[in-house]
Structures are given as C-alpha cells and as structure tokens.
Amino acid sequence: MISSGADQTDTANRKDYPITPVPFTAVKVTDGFWAPRIETNRKVTIPAIFQKCEETGRIDNFAIAGRLIKGEYKGERYNDTDVYKTVEGASYSLMVHPDPALHRYLDGVIAKIAAAQEPDGYLYTPRTASPGKVQPGTGEERWSELAVSHELYNAGHLYEAAAAHFMATGKRALLDVALKNADLVARTFGERAGKRRGFPGHQEIELALVKLYRLTGKRDYLDLAKYFLDQRGRGLTLRQYPPGNRFAIYNDATQIQAHKPVLEQDEAVGHAVRLTYMAAGMTDIAALTGDEAYFGAVRRLWNNVVGKKMYLTGGIGSRHDRERFGEAYELPNLTGYLETCASIGMALWNQRLFLLTGEAAYLDVMERVMYNGILSGVSLDGTLFFYPNPLESDGKYRFNKGRAGRAPWFGVACCPGNISRFLPSVPGYVYATRDDVLYVNMFVAGEAKIEMAGRAVGITQETRYPWDGTVRLTIDPGRKGRFALHIRVPGWARNRPVPTDLYSYADGAAGGETGVALRVNGRAVALDMDKGFARIRRTWKRGDTVEAVLPMAARRVVAHPAVKDDAGFVAVERGPLVYCAEAPDNGGRALGIVLPEGAGLEAEHRPDKLGGITVLAGQALAAEPAAVSRVRDVEAKDAAADDEEEAPPSSRRALAPGARLEPRRLVLIPYYAWAHRGEGEMSVWLLKSSSIR
C-alpha cells in the first residue's frame, strides 16, 4: 500500500480476490520453453518496439505535447498506448532482471510523458500537441467524443504502466502522473450534479483503475471503474458519423458493448478485445465489491464465448471487419481474425475468474490461449508479429495487415506492445495461494519462494512440459507443517479439451482421469479431485516430492457440429499444444491433407527445429491441389474487409467428390511455431477420412 495523498482509504476491510497469485517476482522460471521466450522479449522485443515507437513519432508525440520540441502530432489517436504498454512490459522485465540502461531509458521516456501532462492532470497527446487536427475526439472540447477518442483507453494503459514502473523501481514519477490523471477523471465523471456522464468507447481504464485502487486504497478509483461499466447501455446516445465516414463503425452500439447495460449482456458481440477487457474489469468488480449480479453477468458472457465463439487455440473474434465477434459457431479458419490482443485479454479475464472461483476450468482456457493463441503472435526471434492469428493459410491471402506472414510493425500497433507486457508476466500464472492451500496452476520448471499461512514455502518444479507430461515438485515447507497442495489436472488430460461442448476428443479414449498418475515420495496416491485440482493435504517436511504424470498422447479433436467450417475436419493436439500441418514439412502443401481415422501419430522431439519442438509424424493421404476448393460461406457475408484491407476470400474448404488421394508422410508442428519458413499453406484442421467417399 502506498500513500496516495488521498483522504479516504479503507484498508481495514477491503474485499479482494479470495485467491492470491504468487507474484512473478517470486517465481524464477528456468525451463526450456518460456524462459527463452521471456529472455528474447527482454533482449530483443522490448528494445525493438521502443525503437519503432521512436521512429514513428510515438515518443516525440509526448515531447511535442510537452513543448520540449516543436512539431505536430503524428499517427493514430491511441498511439500513446503503445509506449505505455511497452513501459509496462519493460518494468516487469526490470523486476526480475536489473538493466541499468533500460532503467535510464525509461526515466527519459517518463520525463517526456510527464511533460505532456496538462497542469490539471489531463494527458492525451493528440489534443495537447495538435488540438483539432488529428481525428474525431481530439478537438477543442475534452471528453466530447468518448466513443471514438480513446482518451480514457489511453489513460488506462498509462495507469497500468505507472503501477508496473512503481513496483519495479520504487520511483513515483510515472505513478504521480497517473494518479493526477485519475483524480482528474474521478472529478470529471460521475452521477453527481455538475459532473459529466460518459463511458469509454474502448474499455481498459476500468481494470486499470482497479489496479490503482489496490495500490493506493483510494475507493474513488474502484467506484469510478464500476461507474464506467454501469454507464454502458444506459441511454447515453452515441454521436452518429455520416455513412462512409471511417468512424461510422462507432454508430453501432454493439461494436463497443454499449447496446445494453453490462449486467444484461449475455452474448459476446462487437469488438473482441474490448469485450475481454470489459469482462476482466467486471470480474474485478465482482471480486472487489462482492457484487453477485456482476459475477452472474460475467459468467454468462464466458459461457457464450467459451461455448460458442472460441477457436481451438483459445483465440476469439472471427471477423476482420471491425475486429468483431461473429455469430454463434461462426469460426472461419482462413479468414478468422483472432487478434493477439484478444487472446491476451482472454488470459487476463480467465486468470481473474480462477482467482475468484478456484475453478481450474478457467485455467484450462488460459493455458490453451497462452500456449497457442498468444504465443503465435510473436516470432521465435522476437522481432515479428501477428495481429490476426488464423488457423489456416493458403499462402496467398494477406491476412496480417498486408502480409501472409508476421510483420515487424503495424500502423495500429496494439499487439506487439501487448505481447511485450504479457510474456514477462507468465511466471506469475504458475502458482497461487488461498489460506493454507498452494495451487500449482501451470507446469513451468523453476523455483519459487511462496509466503503462505505464516510460512515461507520453497517449491522446485522440474519438467520438460509441454513436451513431456511428467512434473516433479520438491517441497521445502521451511518447518514441518500441514497444508494442502492443489495440482491442476488439465481438462485435456481428463478427456475434456474445453470446459464446454464446443470441442471434444474424437479418438474414443476413456473419460475421467485415466492416465493421470500421482506419487508422493515415490508412492502412488489416489486422485482426490476438486474443481479440477488433485488435492494433497498432509504434513510436509523438507525434501518431500510429488510427481504428477499427465498423458501426452496425440489426440484428435472435433468441433461441435454447428461449427460448419470445421465439419468434416479433425485437429490434433498433444498436451496443451494445438498442432498444425505446414507446407515445408509436407511436400509444399497443407490444405489437401487427409488424416485417416486410426492412423498413428508418433511424437519425436527435434531440438534443432524451430527453437526445439516435438513434432508428430505419421502416414496420411493427400489430394491434388485442384481437388481442394473454397465453398462460398454466405453466413459470413458480413466478414467483408474494412477499407484498409483486401477483401477476404471465402473461408470454407472442401474436397471435390472422387478426388484422387495419394499416401503422404504427414508431419505436424505446434501451431505457435508456424510461419517461420516463408509464406505458404498451413492448416490446423485436417480433412477427415470419413469426409470423403
């Protein structure tokens, strides 16, 4: 808790999440999977993004607004957030890896940010630097076009960056800027007479205000977060832009989830990233105020997303057009959008739902999106990014903002900065505690020192996960004592790839926890399952070991029959990883591959390939390219591209009846590792043998 200079703090009886994550600063990750990605993020990605922010004027915009240099604002009205997100990621990185040069660089950036703040706390560089010249919402009157201006969205990312920088360095420079801004926003907006009514067009400030509340104890911030959520869909009319105007997409209240009060929303619609940030904020409100109605609403939205609108990779948002959710079961593969930021939003939201409920189902979704939908967003070398993350490529359709592969940067550059702050936070998702329960949520080798129930517990995790399913934990309870270890047994190890009926295993393996084994000090113990966790409550002494073995077989997955794009197709998973066929491993083609039922798939670890991966290989069939066609998917007619993109092709794939099939050796790689060997065909979904006659 820090002093906010505020008059009302209520530290005594604050409600919070019942489960506390073990902070990433207490978890040293030393595995061969995440540790190299986190290190690459620190050494390559963060400096590369800052470089792009310099080159594109994103940092100068602050200096111009602060009258440190002369010039006009450059770029989109939300470009400040790319700087804020990367400051946040860099701060997380500093917390576990001191780097004096990066520390000093951040001080310089923060000085420019502080200079751009107006005397009363307002901070929005497009207006301050070049009033009225940038885009709608940047004119003379502040807060006048909130649906499009991103003033409050920008503020949210400022608060998150400030909280991270303060925790990393103990320096208040950016935090003071953030609190001054938050106090202005709190003075400006509210129900009371003389205050302005409104809500942001792009959610983000809500969960960020909750962070400031938890840091300072200032209740105003929590109340303001709830106020902004409660204002949505309550009759405030949105400014209408003329048809054809770039901003006319904001005439539609569903785009920004303002068509109904949030408590009445039971279907995920509109812009996918916004929905996840909104839902994360709503989960915060449910946890920190105990508001049951909020929890009910957020659960309904989750059921809709995970039951009807989520891809196998955990990604969401089907349509390029307006970066939106599609209808229920509208999950096109070639033209799917699955923005990296929406995947990160899914992780943030599902983590919160676990912390509130203790149910592992949310962690199953989180694991799915971490290992697949998020990780694909950045190249192995840390320099190239996906904005959309489709499950299929024909090598021609330039789905990634003009490319059919990853790109070093984007005009709208939300995703790279988001990746840069997500990766360093991964160690913080491994463990959590509640009273005398220690949760093992993710399987990542390393060591942690955990404060719980009046003791410091050391835990060492040894595993080659996700390549191998054996996880060995060594416990050091400090002094001998009784507490519980709850080890997540992933849904995929219990015959449930997702906690809904959207995807299921098609290979007939037995249900239940078959194949999962647990040993304590070498002796087998029965699984005592609760909420998706295997519970072990005992008196622990130094050196006690727990070994969990999760079955790492290649599994065939099918989608719910209502997902027309996946009808007649099968996908392959192994452990938490979704696999795909990519052209370079399969004779230059991937879209005509037919996976016969019962064909064996052998796992082979290839340390030399794509950063070290386990491939799956077997015998399959392949159709000649001419036999694979696209079926016009009329239901997806709304998926037309926006004006910055080429029109997407028809997404649905079909094999011509009577197509000649030839035997072919099949090699599958993890989905996250695709697109490192040139542009070409890739598919997660393979034709099923029963789909041809």
Would you please indicate which residues are annotated as catalytic (active-site) residues?
323, 414
Residues 541-600 that bind Zn ion (CB under 5 A): none
280-284 CB contacts, 8 Å cutoff, 24+ apart: 280/207, 280/345, 280/348, 280/349, 280/352, 281/203, 281/206, 281/207, 281/210, 281/225, 281/229, 282/206, 282/229, 283/349, 283/352, 283/353, 283/356, 284/206, 284/207, 284/210, 284/225, 284/352
Q: Which residues pair with 546 in a beta bridge?
A: 473, 520
Shortest distance, position 419 Cβ to Zn ion, whole Å:
9
Nearer to Zn ion by Cβ, of 189 and 311: the residue is: 311
Nearer to Zn ion by Cβ, of 270 and 446: the residue is: 270
Least Cα distance to 410 among 73, 138, 56 occurs for: 56
Binding residue for Zn ion, selected from 155, 414, 669, 682, defined by CB under 5 A: 414
Is 419 one of the binding residues for Zn ion (CB under 5 A)?
no
User: What is the 3-class SS of 496-560, one letter each residue?
Assistant: CCCCCCCEEECCCCCCCCCCCEEEECCEECCCCEECCEEEEEEEECCCEEEEEECCCCEEEEEEC
Helix (H) or strand (E) holding 654: strand 652-655
SS3 content of the chain, % helix, strand, coil (to 5): 40, 20, 40
User: DSSP readout, 464-506?
Assistant: -TTS--EEEEEEE-SSSEEEEEEEE--GGGGT-SSSSSSEEE-
Nearer to Zn ion by Cβ, of 272 and 444: the residue is: 272
| Per-position x/- string for 356-395, each x denoting binding to Zn ion as judged by CB under 5 A, each - no binding | ----------------------------------------
Q: Is 658 left (phi over 0), alpha (psi -120 to 50) or beta?
A: left
Shortest distance, position 81 Cβ to Zn ion, whole Å:
10
Shortest distance, position 78 Cβ to Zn ion, whole Å:
11
Nearer to Zn ion by Cβ, of 339 and 392: the residue is: 339
By CB under 5 A, the count of residues binding Zn ion is 4
Is 346 one of the binding residues for Zn ion (CB under 5 A)?
no
Shortest distance, position 387 Cβ to Zn ion, whole Å:
6
Nearer to Zn ion by Cβ, of 28 and 403: the residue is: 403
Is 49 one of the binding residues for Zn ion (CB under 5 A)?
no
Which residue number places its CB atom closest to Zn ion? 341
Write the burial class of residue 608 (CB in 10 Å: 0-12 exposed, 13-18 middle, 19+ buried). exposed
Is 341 one of the binding residues for Zn ion (CB under 5 A)?
yes
Shortest distance, position 587 Cβ to Zn ion, whole Å:
34
Nearer to Zn ion by Cβ, of 183 and 339: the residue is: 339
Nearer to Zn ion by Cβ, of 210 and 338: the residue is: 338
Residues 288, 352: Cα–Cα separation, whole Å? 11
The residue range among 79-87, 408-416, 444-452, 546-554 that interacts with Zn ion, by the rule CB under 5 A, is 408-416
Residues 42, 62: Cα–Cα separation, whole Å? 24
Residues 89, 666: Cα–Cα separation, whole Å? 39
The residue range among 178-186, 200-208, 413-421, 650-658 that interacts with Zn ion, by the rule CB under 5 A, is 413-421
The residue range among 316-324, 406-414, 430-438, 526-534 that interacts with Zn ion, by the rule CB under 5 A, is 406-414
Q: What angle do CA 427, 410, 673 make, to 5 degrees?
A: 50
Shortest distance, position 70 Cβ to Zn ion, whole Å:
31
Nearer to Zn ion by Cβ, of 285 and 414: the residue is: 414
Nearer to Zn ion by Cβ, of 282 and 415: the residue is: 415
CA 682 to chain centre: 22
Tokens of 30: 């030393």
Shortest distance, position 385 Cβ to Zn ion, whole Å:
9
Q: Hey, is 278 helix, strand or coil?
A: helix
Residues 509, 437: Cα–Cα separation, whole Å? 32
First to last CA, the chain: 67
Shortest distance, position 210 Cβ to Zn ion, whole Å:
21
Is there a cis peptide before residue 466, judged by omega within 30 degrees of 0? Answer: yes
Q: What is the dihedral of CA 390, 392, 398, 404, to 10 degrees?
A: 100
Tokens of 186: 């709190």
The residue range among 85-93, 140-148, 414-422, 492-500 that interacts with Zn ion, by the rule CB under 5 A, is 414-422
Shortest distance, position 323 Cβ to Zn ion, whole Å:
8
Least Cα distance to 686 among 582, 588, 534 occurs for: 582
Nearer to Zn ion by Cβ, of 61 and 343: the residue is: 343
Residues 206, 286: Cα–Cα separation, whole Å? 13
The residue range among 314-322, 339-347, 483-491, 572-580 that interacts with Zn ion, by the rule CB under 5 A, is 339-347
CA 42 to chain centre: 19
Is 415 one of the binding residues for Zn ion (CB under 5 A)?
yes
Nearer to Zn ion by Cβ, of 276 and 586: the residue is: 276
Residues 572, 374: Cα–Cα separation, whole Å? 18
Shortest distance, position 418 Cβ to Zn ion, whole Å:
6
| Per-position x/- string for 513-532, each x denoting binding to Zn ion as judged by CB under 5 A, each - no binding | --------------------
Shortest distance, position 204 Cβ to Zn ion, whole Å:
12
Phi/psi at 27 (5° precision): -120, 115
The residue range among 196-204, 340-348, 350-358, 375-383 that interacts with Zn ion, by the rule CB under 5 A, is 340-348
Residue ranges that bind Zn ion, judged by CB under 5 A: 339, 341, 414-415
